[in-house]
A and B are shown apart, each in its own frame.
Chain A
Amino acid sequence: MHRFDYLEPATLSEAVALLAQHGARARVLAGGTDLLTALKEGWERPDWVLSIGRVADLRYIRYDSRDGLRIGALATVREVETSPLVRKHYPVLAEAAGTLASVQIRNLATLAGNVCRASPSGDTLPALLVLDAEARLVGPSGERRVPLARFFVGPGRTVMEPTELLAELVLPPPRPGTGAHYIKHSLRRAMDLAVVGVAALVALDGETCVDARIALGAVAPTPIRALAAEEQLVGRPITPDAAEAAADLAQAAARPITDVRGTAPYRRRMVHVLTRRCILRAAELAQSQGRLP
């Protein structure tokens, strides 16, 4: 294993200053479930490992009805999965979080880390995309907010500068009458990567779909939104035919590769099946939500 020095800042500003100093030669350590494997396997060879584990007040999940949900950089995937706030207001995020790896890994891994890892198959990413999540980044020249829809650049690559930290994820408050669902398609029920992941969010006004978002994982260099499919749904009731038509468009948006986990034609076909199922389930949830007192 490549030798590195270990840094353990106590505050966010200290962390940012250290990162400004070491930049691309440093890697940020939060949960460590990705980084430690990469270090051991030699895929990453940083000279500095900067742990943010002791930075005060990064481990939180907060919600209010005006600003929505804020998830600190150290909140674990398991905390997100089990948070009553997330389960109540953003159940699709809890659902997606619960599909990641295993309970043991979810107890260590952070949601922010899953975002920064930027894997095309990252399990929480399609859900975060349909929820319009934004990343709050802090760096030497201050902070900025980047919607996740513009955050991912390629496999393992994001718009973040080497001197920036992801401090928190921010999700806008959910609008009433929405339902959302995530389907992870994998060979196993745990400890597996998605062959295809699909998240769909549907907002209904009566029978009419007034907003729709569809995000696809593991079928392009980054998780992607299927915008044409979304547009197809808006302004009409969600019927099986409408879902089918949107699934056609989602399938056309997918650009999967063939690898040891699945072939490109199979992945395309699964995008179709799973998008259709996901939309119909999201609509069901939206309807049942609308019926709540």
Chain B
Amino acid sequence: MSAHLGPTPLRVVGQRVPKVDGVDKATGVAQYTVDVRRPRMLYARLLRSPHAHARIRHMDVSRAQALRGVRAILTYRDVPPVVHAGQPQPRAGSLARDQRILEDRVRFVGDGVAAVAADHPDILEEALALIQVDYEVLPAVFDPFEAMQPAAPSLHGTDRNLVIPPFIVRHGDVEQGFAEADYIFEGRYETSRPMPAYMEPDACVCEFDPSGRLTVWISTQAPFMVRGSLSEVLGIPMSKIRVICEHMGGGFGAKQDLYQYPYLCVLLAQRTGRPVKMEYTREETFVAGRSRHPVVIELRQGVTRDGRLTARQARFVANSGAYASHGPGITRVGTNALASLYKCPHVYIEGLCVYTNAPIAGAFRGYGAPQAYFALESQMDEIAAQLGLDPIELRMRNMFQPGDRGPAGTPFREVMLPACLQRGAELIGWAEKRQRPADPGPIKRGVGVACQLHSATSYPAVKEAAGAVVSINEDGTVQLLIGAADLGTGAKTVMAQIAAETLGVGLDAIRVVSGDTDVTPYDIGAYASRTTFIAGGAVQRAAEDAKRQLLDLAAQELHAEPADLHVTDGVVASRSDPGRRIAVKDLVASPGGRSARTIVGRGTFAPRNDYSFAAQFAEVAVDTETGQVEVLQMVAVHDVGRVINPTTAEGQVEGALHQGIGYALMEDLVVDGVSGKALNANFADYKMLTALDMPKIYVELLESVDDLGPFGAKGLAEDGVCPTAAAIANAIYHATGARVRQLPIAPDRLLELIP
């Protein structure tokens, strides 16, 4: 059914068109949540716990209440005691309900204990300081292994502080597999706590109108999840809640969660009868945002002399922090990822997700896979080195075939890793650089590779669907309504391209409307590399539905068969008799004075998942006297199916490489092991790569033909981050002989490892 399989060449899909909202963003016209200002608006902020674990004996807000300009204060006594999930994905198998809006118990440094609304943001800090909280400090635990001990303090009353029961993936019999192995490799890999550090801090504005209808402007990846959760927890019918997020400055996964603040903001608006705005400070985005999970992976693999994997056994232990958030989901995805990537007949992987009194970990680009692939791809490199095999050759010997089952349990339609590896090796000059004699001075260069495969959508854990509506205006232009949010990735542009291509109209004829739950069809949210794949599929179907209606009308007007008609540049014409033609605008609103016709196309798309593939190569220079690593270049070859817009697609890979290199070398929120305080919750001490730190990057996109997604598109957003740390670690090994098993690869730790 896909258009690209037909004879007509693509006109809009595959083009480097600029972002449809680019001018609005560049000129500052685009309204972000932090830009929203309402008449008589109040400002609110949370008081946060200084203790990692404590019970609140008593709170006295009287002095804060008396401060001039303070309009309302909420404590745990003032909020509905509803237990809910931070990750409100409906019907996810992994939902964990473990948080309250406010509670007489705090579980990490930064847990909210009260909220204040006031006339002006300047007095909030003073008001918060006047709230007296009498804490009974409780023993705290920060290490997941300690937290699993019987004597450890319990956070939520679960067995061994586990968020969910152990998640097990098992194929074959690992004992047999190890018995068949000639060599056994073992390693313990430890990953860090990077933060998404999006440009736009978390923010919302909540306002009730006189009839009790609530409008929430919020920086979110999932407007419908926000609406659903607010409705469920606060008891407001969905018809009375409108959630708006037209533009956002990044989310990277973290903004799928509902933190405490939107609930509190709604309650403050309710109590004061005025609009209320809450905006995180940058420090709050660190201490009370969501990090990638720090994970310890104990990995053991058996391999034959000729490099065939016989057994893989592993334990994936994720530190969830104080609440579950996406812990269940990332444990599932990370454990599945550890079981996959290369063919292995005997696999036993155990995934554990553990509560600790650390800051909350959540969804962040890669969702368990960056951690899993760091371990797996590091060990593959180690095996290759020990067996004297080229790392690419070892991978080729263990490659999946089409029809084999991937990490999500569904079969691969294609396995594009060999093509990615081959092309990447050519681009970086692999054969020559692997043979290069060691550099003479203290600076040593090396090249390394790591692979990944990733599933777009969270199928089958969630059977997702997306919706779109295409409505044709009287002049032939098009309103495209999509439920999917655009995090800043260019989703609106890609959706517009798909609609324009399908309808046979120009891109400038499409107006994209998104991020408004009152207007658009339902969408579960923008995450899991899903939007182009699944929302794009819905757009394609909605556009096809509208086009079918147009062609039926045109067939009547032109006395032709619908199958003989095509739409090009806004004109419907007969293939067999090109003189028979009519403009779309004349079809919709006849010049004869009759009322315009209503042409509305609807589309939903609920596919199963599809896999995308990547091989990434790193070339590094390591200063063996200081432990400093310079990434000289990265080559990223990705198979993502049809590329709808090469510019935004390459941008996704480039951005992912930026975060991936940061993950490898420096990004890490450091939590003090005694107090539980974050030691670098600011941009001075939380290091991200600057433009000057970025290496040369070569991105090449392979376009395997796969007609599941729109025009054959697959997912892409997360892939680039997943193998980057291992590629760099492997290049460091090639350069120095130091095998790194801990992230970030800090100079002081690396220096200890260099032989």
> When A193-B684, A273-B625, A273-B626 are in contact, do A266 and B689 touch as well, CB less than 8 Å?
no
Is B432 among interface residues, defined by CB-CB distance under 8 A?
Answer: no
Q: Does A231 contact B (CB under 8 A)?
A: no
Which A residues are in CB contact (< 8 Å) with B628?
185
**Complex alpha-carbon distance, A269 and B665, angstroms:** 20
Across the two chains, which residue of chain A brings its CB closest to B629? A187
Q: Say whether A24 faces chain B, with CB atoms less than 8 Å apart.
A: no
A270 nearest in chain B by CB position = B626
List CB contacts (< 8 Å) of B670-685 with chain A.
670, 679-680, 684-685
CA distance A32 to B151 in the complex (A): 52
- Inside 8 A of B679's CB, which chain A residues have their CB? 260
| CB-contacts of B685-743 with A (<8 A) | 685, 687, 689-693
B626 touches A185 (CB 8 A): yes
Interface residues of A in 111-139 (CB under 8 A from B): none
Number of A-B contacts (CB under 8 A): 40
Distance A267 CA – B625 CA, assembled complex (angstroms): 12
Interface check A191, CB cutoff 8 A = yes
Taking CB atoms, residues of chain A closer than 8 Å to B625 are 273
Closest A residue to B665 using CB positions: A187
Taken together as a complex, chains A and B put the C-alpha atoms of A31 and B679 apart, in Å, by 28
In the assembled complex, A237 has its CB within 8 A of some CB on chain B? no
CB distance A1 to B693 under 8 Å?
no
* B35 in the interface (beta carbon within 8 A): no
Let me know if A187 and B687 touch, CB within 8 A: yes
Let me know if B666 and A261 touch, CB within 8 A: no
Q: How far is the CA of A12 from the CA of B685 in the complex (A)?
A: 37
Give the distance in Å from the alpha carbon of A263 to the alpha carbon of B625 in the complex.
Answer: 16
Output the nearest chain B residue to A265 by Cβ-Cβ distance: B748
Q: Return B642 CB to nearest CB of chain A, in Å.
A: 37
Give the Cβ gap from A185 to chain B, nearest Cβ, in Å: 7
Question: What CA separation (Å) do A266 and B627 show in the bound complex?
Answer: 10
Is B748 a contact of A190 with CB atoms below 8 Å?
no
CA distance A265 to B627 in the complex (A): 13
Contact A188 B626 (CB under 8 A): no
| A147 interface contact, C-beta 8 A | no
- The residue on B at minimum CB distance from A272 is B625
Taken residue by residue from 244 to 261, chain A's Cβ proximity to chain B (1 for < 8 Å, 0 otherwise) reads as 000000000000000011
> Could you tell me if B666 and A188 are in contact, using CB atoms closer than 8 angstroms?
yes
* Chain B neighbourhood of A211, CB < 8 A: none
Known: A266-B747, A269-B751. A260 touches B693 (CB 8 A): no
**A189 close to B693 (CB less than 8 A):** yes
Let me know if B692 and A189 touch, CB within 8 A. Answer: yes
A192 within 8 A of B: yes
- B122 at interface, CB cutoff 8 A: yes
- Tell me if A174 counts as interface (CB < 8 A to partner B): no
A262 within 8 A of partner (CB) = yes
Determine the main DSSP class of A at the interface with B: loop
Tell me if B690 and A191 are in contact (CB < 8 A): yes
Q: Are B747 and A260 in contact (CB under 8 A)?
A: no
* Interface residue from A189, A266, A270 paired with B690 (Cβ < 8 Å): A189
A75 to chain B, nearest CB (A): 25
Assess the A188–B751 pair: CB atoms within 8 A: no
Whether B680 and A260, one on each chain, are in contact in the complex, defined by CB atoms closer than 8 angstroms, is yes
Chain A residues in 8 Å Cβ range of B747: 187, 266
- Count how many chain B residues have C-beta atoms less than 8 Å from C-beta atoms of the other chain: 20
Question: Contacts A260-B670, A262-B748 given: A188-B680 contact, CB under 8 Å?
Answer: no
Q: Given contacts A260-B679, A262-B748, A273-B625, are A188 and B693 in contact (CB under 8 A)?
A: yes
In the bound complex, CA of A261 to CA of B685 (Å) = 7
How close is A61's CB to chain B, nearest CB, in angstroms? 26
Residues of B within 8 A of A190 (CB): 690-693
Q: How far is the CA of A192 from the CA of B670 in the complex (A)?
A: 17
Q: Residue on B with the closest CB to A37? A: B684
Given contacts A261-B685, A266-B748, contact A187 B666 (CB under 8 A): yes
> How many Å lie between the Cα of A26 and that of B680 in the bound state?
30
User: In the complex, how many angstroms separate the beta carbon of A38 from the nearest chain B beta carbon?
Assistant: 12
Q: Say which residue of B684, B685, B751 sits within 8 Å of A266 (CB atoms).
A: B751
Identity of the chain A residue whose Cβ is nearest the Cβ of B746 in the assembled complex: A187
Alpha-carbon distance between A79 and B77 when the two chains are bound, in angstroms: 59
In the bound complex, what is the Cα–Cα distance between A246 and B240 (angstroms)?
Answer: 75
Can you list, as one digit per residue, whether each of B172-189 has a CB less than 8 Å from chain A (1) or not (0)? 000000000000000000
State in angstroms the CA–CA spacing of A69 and B691 once bound together. Answer: 34
Q: Is the Cβ of A188 less than 8 Å from the Cβ of B685?
A: no
Chain A residues with Cβ below 8 Å from B751 are 266, 269
Asked whether B122 lies within 8 Å of A1 as measured between CB atoms, the reply is yes
Q: Which residues of A contact B670 (CB under 8 A)?
A: 260
- Alpha-carbon separation in the docked complex, A190 to B693 (Å): 8
Q: Is there contact, CB below 8 Å, between A188 and B689?
A: yes
Residues on the B chain within 8 Å of A263, using CB = 748
- List residues of B (90-140) whose CB comes within 8 Å of A's CBs: 122
- Which residues of A from 161 to 218 have beta carbons under 8 Å from B? 185, 187-193
Q: In the complex, which residues of chain B have a beta carbon less than 8 angstroms from the beta carbon of A273?
A: 625-626
> Shortest Cβ distance from B748 into chain A, in angstroms?
4
B748 contacts A188, C-beta separation under 8 Å: no
Q: How far is the CA of A261 from the CA of B748 in the complex (A)?
A: 10
Min CB distance A98 to B, Å, is 12
The minimal Cβ–Cβ distance linking B664 to chain A, given in whole angstroms, is 12
Rounded to whole angstroms, the CA-CA distance of A102 and B690 in the bound complex is 10
- Look across to chain B and name the residue whose beta carbon is closest to the beta carbon of A192: B687
Complex CA distance for A191 and B666, rounded to whole angstroms: 14
The answer for the CA separation of A191 and B690 in the assembled complex, in Å, is: 8
What residues of B have a CB within 8 angstroms of the CB of A191 in the complex? Answer: 690
Q: Which residues of B contact A189 (CB under 8 A)?
A: 690, 692-693
> Complex Cα distance A262/B666, Å?
12
Report the bound CA distance from A15 to B626 in whole Å. 46
Which residues of the partner chain B approach A266 to less than 8 Å between Cβ atoms? 747-748, 751
Of the candidates B122, B665, B666, B690, the one having the most CB atoms from chain A within 10 angstroms of its own CB is B690
Given contacts A260-B670, A262-B748, contact A188 B684 (CB under 8 A): no
Query: Which residues of the other chain, B, contact A187 by a CB distance below 8 angstroms?
Result: 665-666, 687, 747
A263 to B751, alpha carbons, bound, how many Å?
A: 12
CA distance A263 to B752 in the complex (A): 13
Chain A residues in 8 Å Cβ range of B748: 262-263, 265-266
B618 to chain A, nearest CB (A): 18
Output the nearest chain A residue to B749 by Cβ-Cβ distance.
A266
What CA separation (Å) do A265 and B670 show in the bound complex? 19
CA distance A189 to B665 in the complex (A): 13
Q: Indicate if the CB atoms of A188 and B122 lie closer than 8 Å.
A: no
Contact with B along A267-286 (1 / 0, CB 8 A): 00110011000000000000
CA distance A260 to B670 in the complex (A): 8
Point out the residues of chain B lying under 8 angstroms from A193, CB to CB. Answer: 684
* Residue ID in chain A nearest B283 by CB atoms: A41
A262 to B627, CA, bound (A): 12
Task: Fill in one digit per residue for A76-116: 1 if any B CB lies within 8 Å of its CB, else 0.
Answer: 00000000000000000000000000100000000000000
Bound CA–CA A12/B689 (angstroms): 42
Q: How far is B628's CA from A189's CA once the two chains are assembled, in angstroms? A: 12
A193 to B684, CA, bound (A): 8
Q: How far is the CB of B744 from chain A (nearest CB, A)?
A: 9
Contacts of A260 in B (CB 8 A): 670, 679-680, 685
Return chain B residues, CB-CB under 8 Å to A270: 626
A1 CA / B122 CA spacing, docked (Å): 7
Complex CA gap A146/B273 in Å reads 62
Q: Mark A1-38, 1 if CB is under 8 A from B, else 0.
A: 10000000000000000000000000000000000000
Q: Which of B216-257 contact A (CB under 8 A)?
A: none
Taking the closest CB of chain A, its distance from the CB of B103, in whole angstroms, is 29
6 interchain pairs, CB-CB under 8 A: A187-B665, A187-B666, A188-B689, A189-B692, A189-B693, A192-B687
Q: Which residues from chain A sit less than 8 Å from chain B, CB to CB?
A: 1, 102, 185, 187-193, 260-263, 265-266, 269-270, 273-274
Q: Which 7 A-B residue pairings sit nearest by Cβ, starting from the closest?
A: A266-B748, A189-B692, A273-B625, A260-B679, A190-B690, A190-B692, A260-B680
* New A-B contacts (15) at CB < 8 Å, excluding given A102-B690, A192-B687, A273-B626: A1-B122, A187-B665, A187-B687, A188-B666, A188-B689, A188-B690, A189-B693, A190-B691, A190-B693, A193-B684, A260-B670, A260-B679, A260-B685, A270-B626, A274-B626
